[in-house]
Structure 1
Amino acid sequence: MDFESLFADVARVIEGTGVVIMAIGLATVLIRYLYDVVRKGTSSYQQLRVNLGRVILLGLEILIVGDIIRTIIVDTSLQNVLILGLIVLIRVVLSFALEVEISGAWPWQQRRSEPAPPDAA
C-alpha cells in the first residue's frame, strides 16, 4: 500500500465518520424530541431545530476535513483544488446559515459577557 492509497482510505474513513455522526445525531435528536412529546407532553420545535443544526454543523466540519485530505494528498490538481474551494465555500455558507438559525444572530454579533465593574478604591 503506497502513501496516496493510504490517505485515500483515511479520507474515506473521515468522510464516513462525518456521515455516521449526522445519521446517528439525526436519530438521537428525533428520538429525544419524540420522547419529550410523548412523555412530557411538550414539543419544543425550536430545540429540535437547534439540536439538529448542531449535528449538521459537526458533520459538515468533519466532511470538510476529509475533503481537504483527499485534495491535498491524494488528488492534487488545479481542478480538484478549485472544486475543493467551491465545496468549502458552500459548506461555510451553510455553516453560517445554521449558526444564525441556532443562535439567532451572526457569529460576530454574539452577546459578550458584561465587563466587571471597576474596583472602587
Structure 2
Amino acid sequence: MENIEIYINYVAKITEAIGVLTIFLGSLYAIGKFMFSMRNRKPVTYIELRQSVGKSILLGLEILIAADIMATVVTKPTLKSVSILGLIVLIRTFLSLSLQVELEGKFPWQKSKN
C-alpha cells in the first residue's frame, strides 16, 4: 500500500506541473499570437488576448484542482487536511467561475443571449 501512495504522490506532482505549464505555455502562446498579429492588417485585439490568457488560466486551474484532490487522497484524511483541500478547491473554483463569467459575460448555468 505504501508503494501505491508514493506513485499517487508522483502522479499528483506531475499533474501539478502540467497545470502550471498549461497556464504558462497558454499565456506565452496568447502573447506571442498577439505580438505577431500586430504586423497583420487585422491584429488580435486586447480583448482576444485577455480571453486567450483567461482560457489558459481556467484550464490550468482545473488541472491544479485535480492534482490537489490526488495529493489529498494519498495523505491520511484528517480534519485539517480535508479543510485545507476544501478551502483550496473553493478558492480555485471561485477563480474559475469569475474568469468564466468575465470571458463569456454570463454564468455557466445561464442560457445564451441569442
Is 2:10 the partner of 1:20?
A: no
Q: Which residue of 1 aligns with 2:34?
A: 33
| TM, length-normalised to structure 2 | 0.90
- The letter of the residue matching 2:33 is R
Match of 2:112 in 1: 111
Q: How much does 1:77 deviate?
A: 1.9
Count how many residue pairs are aligned between Structure 1 and Structure 2: 113
- Say whether the 8 Å CA contact 1:21–1:55 is kept in structure 2: yes
CA distance in 2, matches of 1:74, 1:39: 52
Equivalent residue number for residue 80 of structure 2: 79
Q: Distance in 2 between matches of 1:21 and 1:105?
A: 24
Partner of 2:52: 51
What is the TM-score normalised by the length of structure 1? 0.85
1:42 & 1:64 partners in 2: Cα distance? 34
The residue aligned with 1:118 is none
Is the 1:8–1:74 Cα contact (8 Å) retained in structure 2? no
1:63-74 pair list within 5 angstroms: 63-74=64-75
Equivalent residues in 2 for 1:2-13, closer than 5 Å: 2-13=3-14
**Partners in 1 of 2:22 and 2:51 — Cα distance?**
16
Amino acid at match of 2:98: A
Which 5+ residue runs of structure 2 have no aligned equivalent? Answer: none
- What is the CA distance between 1:73 and its match in structure 2? 2.2
Q: Which amino acid aligns with 1:57?
A: L
RMSD between superposed Cα atoms in Å: 1.7
AA aligned to 2:13 is R
Shift of 1:78: 1.6
How far apart are the structure 2 equivalents of 1:78 and 1:38?
Answer: 56
Same amino acid, percent of matched pairs: 38
Q: After alignment, is 71-80 or 52-61 more displaced?
A: 71-80
Q: Which stretches of structure 1, 4 residues or more, deviate above 6 A after TM superposition?
A: none
CA distance in 1, matches of 2:111, 2:61: 22
